[in-house]
Amino acid sequence: MKLKIGISCYPTVGGSGVIATELGKLLAERGHEVHFITSSMPFRLDRVYPNIFYHEVEVNQYSVFQYPPYDLTLASKMAEVAKRQKLDLIHVHYAVPHAICAILAKQMAGYDLKIMTTLHGTDITVLGYDPSLKDIIRFGIEQSDMVTAVSHDLVKQTCELIQTDKPIETVYNFIDERVYTKLEVEELKRHYDIAAEERVLIHISNFRPVKRVPDVVRSFAEIARHVKSKLLLIGNGPDLQVARDLVKSLQLEDHVLLLGNQKHIAELLSMSDLMLLLSEKESFGLVALEAMACGVPVIGTNTGGIPEVVVDGETGYLCEVGDIECVAHRALTLLEDEERYQAFSKKAMERVAATFHSQLIVSRYEQLYQQML
Ligand code: GMT
């Protein structure tokens, strides 16, 4: 049955926005009608797609309000779009505020609009600790018709932290395998002045403190003492300057390329040999999946959902948070043993195809939609 689906997410750079948008695009390819209800055009919606509609939430800045009423405007827009387009369901990404907005919209629309909420992590692992938000997160989860989370670890953490017995289904994240695949990039490597024999390490994030970018730079400093290599730092955020200062103080300026936010991640990954994802918290780690899809093994931290993505000793290695010595040692184990490296690279691609294939995951969401309806 073809459905009319509303999707709300944070449309800016970030894994949850990427997943929400890619899911919408793939659902539209399957013939469903998809309505994005967001504060700006999701950045992955980079051209016109059949079956996809965009409804902008315009938040007015009235001077009487200290804070712009985004949540209320979103709820009102959701209700308006639901009624006008006769939506079957609305799929929101993040319990707060999006699930709460959807609950309000359902009441305003006056019919049994179904609500699916997908938890991505930050709403639980950060906001869940805030006593002023805990009850409303629980309310958002319990009033949703169906709740999913992007890893088993996130399900466990949600149940423990929020103290709810609402069933939460794990639906893993996915990548578009037409985009994330190993590409031919010799020319690009030359463009960045990276010698053919040099090894390339890569870190991609929003440079929030939780990503522990200084650990990435310190691990690289140790790796570069043994293997001729370069580090690509991709992204932007609060710790970018911290990283820049550390690169300078460790005299690594000639070895670290800070490239800011980039659009063509598959090309940069294809140029890389190893990804470092050393976060303190990470409910899934979509960049690790993107790396593995391009044949890049990952050294990750043994935290949150990362162990569900990176299989220790097969598609990369896991180290405890902050254990820079372990990261450097594991990286060298791979970079100095070509046969082992190739085996890990192959296993990484195979794992993505077998467990995180977009068609598998989109079909799972479709099944859950039908179940909910
Ligand atoms: O990691 C971030 O800071 C961004 C955040 C987001 O909301 O986009 O990422 C969360 O959702 C991603 C997609 O499901 C996951 O891959 C990330 O692991 C998760 N981040 C955290 O849990 C810190």
Could you tell me the mean pLDDT of each successive run of 10 residues in the chain, 373 residues long?
96 89 97 96 88 94 82 97 98 95 98 97 75 90 98 95 93 96 92 94 97 98 98 97 98 97 95 98 97 98 98 98 98 98 98 97 98 96
The Å distance, Cα 280 to ligand 1 centre, comes to 12
Q: Whose CA is nearest to atom 23 of ligand 1?
A: 282
Note the pLDDT of residue 122.
Answer: 80
Note the pLDDT of residue 130.
Answer: 80
Radius of gyration of the chain (CA): 21
Minimum-distance ligand 1 atom for the alpha carbon of 289? 16
Q: What is the dihedral of CA 82, 22, 145, 76, to 10 degrees?
A: -30
The Å distance, Cα 277 to ligand 1 centre, comes to 12
Note the pLDDT of residue 128.
Answer: 64
The Å distance, Cα 122 to ligand 1 centre, comes to 6
Pocket test for ligand 1, best of 22, 23, 118, 122 (most atoms within 8 A of CB): 122
Q: Are 42 and 10 in contact (CB under 8 A)?
A: no
Alpha-carbon distance values, 196 to 187, 229, 328 (Å):
10, 10, 22
Q: Is 94 left (phi over 0), alpha (psi -120 to 50) or beta?
A: left
Enter the tokens of residue 80. Answer: 């308006």
Distance CA 352, CA 23 (A): 17
Minimum-distance ligand 1 atom for the alpha carbon of 173? 14
Pocket test for ligand 1, best of 120, 261, 290 (most atoms within 8 A of CB): 120
Those residues whose C-beta lies under 8 Å from the C-beta of residue 222, and which sit 6 or more positions away, are: 324, 325, 328
Q: Are 230 and 201 in contact (CB under 8 A)?
A: yes
Pocket test for ligand 1, best of 8, 9, 12, 16 (most atoms within 8 A of CB): 16
**pTM of the complete model:** 0.95
At residue 256, the 3 state secondary structure works out as strand
Distance CA 138, CA 130 (A): 12
Exposed / middle / buried, residue 11 (Cβ in 10 Å: 0-12, 13-18, 19+): buried
Minimum-distance ligand 1 atom for the alpha carbon of 125? 22
ipTM over cut 0.95: yes
